[in-house]
Each structure stands twice: as C-alpha cells, then as structure tokens.
Amino acid sequence: MERCLRRWASLLCGLFLAHGALAADVLLVLSDDGGYYGEVADRIVHHLRQAQPGVDVRTQVLADGVAVAADDLVITIGTAASVRVMAHYPQVKQLSLLITRQAWHSMLSSATSATTKAAVLMDQPAERYLRLARLLAPQGTVSAVFGPAAPGLQDSFSSAARQLGVTLRHAAIDRDSNPMHVLNPLLENSAVFIAVPDRAEFNRNVARWVLRLGFRKRVPVVGFSRSYVEAGAAAALFSAPGDVAHEAIDWLADYFGGATAALWTEQAPRHFTVALNHSVARSLGLQRLDEEEIHRRISAPLAWSESE
C-alpha cells in the first residue's frame, strides 16, 4: 500500500507542476479529530504536502468551527462535516469521504447546488460481499438481514445474487423486531451470513445475536469492519483508512490532471481491505485462503460466475 501511495504522490507532484492553474488551496474538514477521521486526514495531508509543497493544505475540525474560502477545494471526512459544508458553502468544490449512499443522497436532495460536489461512498458493492461469501462457502445458501436505514440494498443484493448464481435468503428487521426470532430460522439452513451495515443501533443488535448464533450453528459470518472480525466474524470487507486516503489521492490526481468534468458525481469505493479471523475459519473448517488471495479474486471484474 505504501509503495503504491508513494507512486501516486510522485504522479501528483508532476500533475501539480504541470497544471499550476488548478492548484487551489486544499481544506480538509473533519467530523472529529481522532480515530478513523484523523488517520485518513493525516495520510491525505502527508501525501499532498509531499506531492506539492506550494499548495496550502489546511485542516479544520467541525467542533472548532469551519471557515471556507470561495476558491478552496474542500475534502470533507465524515457525514457531519459533509453536511455542514454542503449546507453553508453550496458553491465550493467539495469531495466527501466516509459517507454512505443514503446520507449522500439525503444531502443532495436538500442541496441548493451540487454541480461541484463529489463523493467516494463507503458502501461496498453487493457483488463484493457475495463473492467473498462464495469464496468462504462455495456451495449453499447465503443469508442476510436488512435494516430500515438502507433502502434499496435488498434489491441490490438480490440483483447481484441473480447475476452471480447465488441463492440468497433474506429478511427485514425493524425497531419492533426481535432479532433472535428473525435470525434463528434464517441461519438454520445457511452456508454463510452477510452482515449488512445500517444504523449503529441496528448494527450492534444484529452483531450481538448473529455472532452468537453463527458460532452455535457453525455458520461463518461476513462483516463490514475489522471490529466484526475481532468479535468473531470469519471475514470482513471494508474500507480501511489507507483505502479511503488512496481514493482521495486517485480523485485528486484526476482533478489536478484536468479531468474535472467527470469528477462531480458519486462513485463506489475502488480500494478495499479484506480481513480474516483465521482461528474462526479453522474452527469452521473453511477452505484455506488468505487476505491477499481473496482480495485478488474479488478485485477481478464483477462479471463473475461460479465457474470461475
């Protein structure tokens, strides 16, 4: 990863020098100054300063107040920062990171202007989750539950499952549902379960029950964060801080390279991380795969079939 980022830093340097007219000041606005947000920001700032010391790169944290100049290129990290900048500075150029598709679309629906707004979404494509599930369990049914905050996800997973030839069983959980009553029959005849991200409360409730039931029924769970793996999921698929920074560097390379017209849109993450819980995988008798091999196989074009 670091070698790849150094290569992009070198490329960015050449692009900045070749297109000095585009070298506007870059402002990073963070929803919070710690953890994930801070790590993503530190990586972006480091590589921007390495690429072009002449560009003014500033960082602001939401709690400390935000001051945006009209000609700033603003990179917002986290939903709260994205909402604030879009609401108060609708005309500035803005790249949003660490934001879900639902939050992004909600912002756009109330925006007065979105002609210079872009986002790299957090939502991993359904195909990737299904391909990971199929690598863990080449045969059998894949199951998942969908919460109230992710409209359209069920359709995305169902469509991807049809294209990939995967049998998908799913159910819905809302605030009045008993997770145990929904999950228990769903996992009964499943080869693997995919935990689909939703609101934090939903995620916690599902994780608590599905990891317990999955262990009892010997069903591997695919999660969406490293903490899911640490808690007992067999595997997880997510964007690590380095992946998010890499997305920003890719976007900036295109921006300063002059390809601005096609940039003002949303895009799914191209970079992602696979994590395995090897002890859980061994206890479940899963075929031996490592993170690098899984990443390589699900990074292939998404027109995948079970004959691959």
Within 8 A by CB and 6+ apart from 30, the residues are 37, 38, 41, 59, 60, 61, 62, 77, 78, 81
Give pTM, 2 decimals: 0.85
Assigned CATH class of 126-238+272-298: alpha beta
Compute CA distances 124 → 129, 196, 199, 239, 297, whole Å: 8, 10, 16, 8, 16
Cα dihedral 114, 120, 123, 128 in deg (nearest 10) = 130
CA 37 to centroid of chain Cα atoms? 13
Q: What letter does residue 288 receive in the DSSP assignment? A: -
Q: Which residue has the tokens 């693997």?
A: 192
Residue 211 token pair: 């990891």
Return the pLDDT at 302.
56
The answer to whether domain 2-122+240-267 and domain 126-238+272-298 are alike in fold is: yes
- Residue pair 198/133 in contact by the 8 Å Cβ criterion: no
| CB-based contact 111:90 (threshold 8 Å) | yes
**Could you read off the pLDDT of 247-297 as tens digits, one per residue?**
999 999 888 888 777 899 999 999 999 999 999 999 998 878 889 999 999
Residue-range domain boundaries for the chain: 2-122+240-267, 126-238+272-298
Contact 222, 136 (CB under 8 A): yes
Q: What architecture is the 2-122+240-267 domain classified under in CATH?
A: 3-Layer(aba) Sandwich (3.40)
DSSP state of 78: S
Quick one: DSSP state of residue 238? E
The model's pLDDT over 201-259, given as tens digits with 9 standing for 90+, comes to: 778 888 989 999 999 999 999 999 999 999 999 999 999 999 999 999 999 988 888 87
The residue among 151 and 143 whose pLDDT is bigger is 143
Structure tokens at 85: 């900048």
| Nearby residues of 23 by Cβ (< 8 Å), 6 or more positions away | 16, 52, 54, 55, 256
Q: Note the pLDDT tens digit of each residue in 157-213.
A: 999 999 999 999 999 888 778 888 889 999 998 999 999 988 877 788 889 899 999
Rounded to whole angstroms, the Cα distance separating 263 from 260 reads 5
Q: Distance (Å, rounded) from C-alpha 129 to C-alpha 268?
A: 14
| 269 alpha-carbon distance from chain centroid | 6
pLDDT of residue 152: 78
